[in-house]
């Protein structure tokens, strides 16, 4: 692909771009450090500016006003990160799946309804009453339970398990080892024993959701656990039973959300966030890494810490933590000084209170 062709593609995607320098041929995208001849890279974070001087890339995508070496062909635009995403798709495309058709070595129940262009691998299992939409790909080791439903263009990577009666929308991608619709943690106390509460609800995943590896989404005790359309999960995320996650959320990884939580639209949870049960997190909220959420979060709020507090307040609180040992030492010194001053004052008061003749 020529750089001029890439500029044209970017323009069609709504990213105005112009080419400075030679119109070179490029075949791949790579990092500034690793790129070589015939590859294009990008700069969106100013802290990597110096790497523009040493990169061996044939071309780079940068923002307006960023200086680049004269020998380096440069595409300039307002959004280099968005532009490089378009470039990656244009040059590399999305992952290409092996093509098995409906493998004779897959265990597909006769009552399952399989859509057009199904791509079901050897070793996959599809139970009775399942509905699978058009153009779905199911890798080896996957299990789709009874009466589960998959929309069109879904992809289940190896060893994904979809429990019975769970529902996936269109264009859902679930990565290896994740489980949808397993029983939630539902037990009633009986003396010193725990009695299992049957989990008779469902798990429902909306359109255009992507779920990382080794995630678990509990089915509801009653009703549904829901993941809204367009939401994206990283790896190792646990969603408790009856929780409802809104559209277009981003959960980074190692996140635990307890049961019966309501999470609004476009909420971001950074890594290792924990959310207690029966809470509400409002639309557009952002939660910093390793935060513990023990109360409701207002829409658009930015919080951090454990327990979580307003982001600016949390940063100030954390900034003083390294100084605490010094302050504790100083407080102890001040306490000793105050104690000495009090002792002197008491001694002086006693001396002043002594009768004059007693001093003779």
Other CB atoms within 10 Å distance of the CB of residue 8: 11
**Nearest by Cα to 75 from 41, 35, 47, 28:** 41
Q: What are the structure tokens assigned to 75, written together?
A: 């595409």
Please name the helix (run of DSSP H) or strand (run of DSSP E) that holds residue 91, with its range, or none: helix 80-92
Backbone φ, ψ for residue 168 (5° rounding): -115, 140
Pairing of strands 113-114, 224-227: unpaired
Q: What are the structure tokens assigned to 150, written together?
A: 């998959």
- Contact (CB, 8 A) for 61 and 78: no
Burial readout 72-81 (b: 16 or more C-beta within 10 A, e: otherwise):
bbbbbbebbe
C-alpha to C-alpha distance for 270 and 266, rounded to whole angstroms: 13
> CA of 108: how far to CAs of 77, 100, 154, in Å?
50, 14, 17
What is the Cβ-side half-sphere exposure of residue 260, based on CA atoms within 13 angstroms?
7
Sign of the torsion formed by the C-alpha atoms of 145, 242, 273 and 231 = positive
Q: What are the structure tokens assigned to 247, written together?
A: 């559209």
Phi-psi region of 76 (alpha: psi -120 to 50; beta: other; left: phi over 0): beta
Residues 6+ apart with CB under 8 A from 132: 112, 113, 114, 115, 118, 120, 126, 138, 144, 150, 154
147 is catalytic: no
**Choosing from 165, 241, 266, 278, which is the catalytic residue?**
241
Catalytic residues: 241
């Amino acid at each position: 692909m020529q750089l001029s062709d890439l500029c044209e593609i970017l323009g069609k995607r709504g990213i105005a771009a112009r080419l400075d320098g030679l119109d070179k041929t490029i075949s791949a995208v790579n990092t500034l450090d690793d790129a070589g001849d015939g590859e294009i890279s990008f700069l969106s974070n100013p802290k990597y500016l110096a790497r523009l001087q040493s990169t061996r890339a044939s071309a780079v995508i940068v923002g307006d006003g960023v200086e680049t070496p004269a020998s380096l062909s440069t595409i300039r635009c307002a959004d280099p990160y968005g532009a490089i995403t378009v470039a990656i798709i244009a040059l590399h495309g999305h992952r290409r799946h092996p093509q098995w058709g409906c493998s004779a070595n897959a265990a597909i129940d006769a009552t399952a309804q399989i859509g057009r262009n199904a791509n079901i691998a050897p070793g996959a299992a599809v139970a009775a009453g399942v509905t699978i939409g058009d153009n779905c790909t199911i890798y080896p080791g996957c299990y789709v339970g009874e009466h589960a439903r998959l929309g069109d263009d879904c992809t289940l990577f190896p060893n994904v398990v979809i429990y019975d009666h769970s529902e996936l929308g269109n264009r859902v991608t679930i990565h290896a080892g994740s489980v949808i619709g397993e029983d939630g943690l539902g037990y009633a106390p009986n003396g010193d024993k725990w009695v299992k509460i049957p989990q008779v609800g469902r798990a429902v995943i909306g359109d255009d959701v992507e779920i990382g590896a080794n995630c678990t989404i509990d089915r509801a005790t009653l009703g549904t656990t829901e993941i809204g359309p367009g939401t994206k999960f990283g790896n190792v995320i646990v969603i408790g039973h009856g929780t409802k996650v809104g559209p277009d959320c981003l959960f980074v990884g190692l996140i635990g959300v307890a049961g019966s939580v309501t999470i609004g639209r476009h909420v971001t949870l950074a890594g290792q966030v924990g959310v207690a049960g029966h809470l509400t997190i409002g639309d557009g909220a952002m939660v910093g890494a390793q935060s513990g959420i023990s109360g409701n979060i207002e829409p658009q709020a930015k919080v951090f810490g454990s327990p979580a507090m307003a982001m600016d307040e949390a940063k100030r609180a954390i900034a003083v933590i390294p100084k605490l040992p010094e302050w504790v030492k100083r407080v102890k010194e001040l306490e000793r000084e105050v104690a000495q001053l009090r002792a002197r004052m008491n001694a002086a008061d006693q001396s002043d209170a002594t009768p004059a003749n007693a001093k003779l």
